[in-house]
A = this chain, B = another copy of it.
Amino acid sequence: MTQQTGPGEFEIIRRFFAPLAADMPGAFELTDDAAAVTVPPGHTLVVTSDALVAGVHFLANDTAADVAAKALRVNLSDLASMGADPLAYTLALALTRETNVAWLEAFAASLAEDQRQFGIRLVGGDTVATPGPLTLSICAFGCVRQGTELRRSAARPGDAIFVTGTIGDAALGLIALQKGLAAATAADCDVLVGRYHRPTPRVACGRRLVGLAHAAIDVSDGLLADLGHICETSGVAAVVERERMPLSGAARAVLAAGAGDWPTILTGGDDYELLFTAPPDAEMALAEISAMLDLPITRIGRVVERHPADNPERLVGVVDGQGRMMTMAGSGYRHF
């Protein structure tokens, strides 16, 4: 119903997307109505879906390569938080009239690079035209041995709370992009912006947490909000110690210069680190995983009993360096 302005749907699929499905027999070179995905015996398929809209979930002038990486990686992060091995994904892409061949080339090349890095393959999807902002949604599949997937709801009082990598970088990176961060060096800004544009899904770590962690989630809405999700579904509460929070050198420098604050660090989203609970005696095993993957894993707090009087919106307490409870204005990104 719309005017032909560039390569048509079939040409786009053949030229840019079919090569991404070339190694996947069940993708049928993207020429069939659907794909066939084989799940190894004794395994469960883990399924996740995330949608991104230009101007809402990424900036309208972000590069095609960054958009592709972010779209795939946020889904990979969900697979990681379930302890699943990436298997395949579908891509539904609503392109604007302005989308040209160069954009599609860079977009597909970025997906190809991440496919290699994370061991996942395109198996299907849909390419349509939209008069609105570029919109894409990925549905990603992973597999995990039956009954061993990591759940948000499995935290128990007495568990220690851990987080991978560093926290708050993406939120500071977004501030740098939107308003600038004059207090930070150009190099620090690059690091923070890079963390916002290209989160690193902790796939290798998530897989190794199976059988070790109790509850797990990835930090997308913000550390406190996501820990709140664990507490809600597990029927527990949590206390985190601000001084234990793992910060990057760049985030430390920004905080020291007074250009960022703790609420930004603790409630900002988009870090895509793994946040999980485990029995305190798991700490040695976690230290080994940390060393093997060269990825910091930091204990930041503990799971406690929930009391009937607890405000269900305030299940996560934060104590500062002096042991005082902090109050926070907000508890995370609201989507609407």
Contacts and interface: CB of A to CB of B under 8 A. Distances in A.
Interface string A215-258: 00110000000000100110000000000000000000000000
A106 interface: no
Query: How many interface residues does chain A have, given as a range?
Result: 35 or more
Contact of A233 (B31, B82, B144, B153): B31
Interface in A1-53: 1-2, 4-10, 12, 26, 28, 31-39, 41, 44-53
B49 A130 contact: no
A297 interface: no
Given A4-B336, A124-B48, A146-B38, A130 B56 contact: yes
B56 A129 contact: yes
B57 A128 contact: yes
Contacts of A46: 34-37
Interface string A110-132: 00000000000001111111111
A48 B26 CA distance: 12
Contact of A132 (B93, B125, B132, B151): B132
Interface stretch (A135-143, A259-267, A287-295, A319-327): A135-143
A52 B94 CA distance: 9
A56 to B, nearest CB: 6
A158 interface: no
Contact of A39 (B39, B124, B151): B39
Q: Which 9 A-B pairs have the closest CB atoms?
A: A132-B132, A9-B335, A34-B48, A92-B137, A139-B139, A51-B92, A49-B90, A33-B78, A37-B45
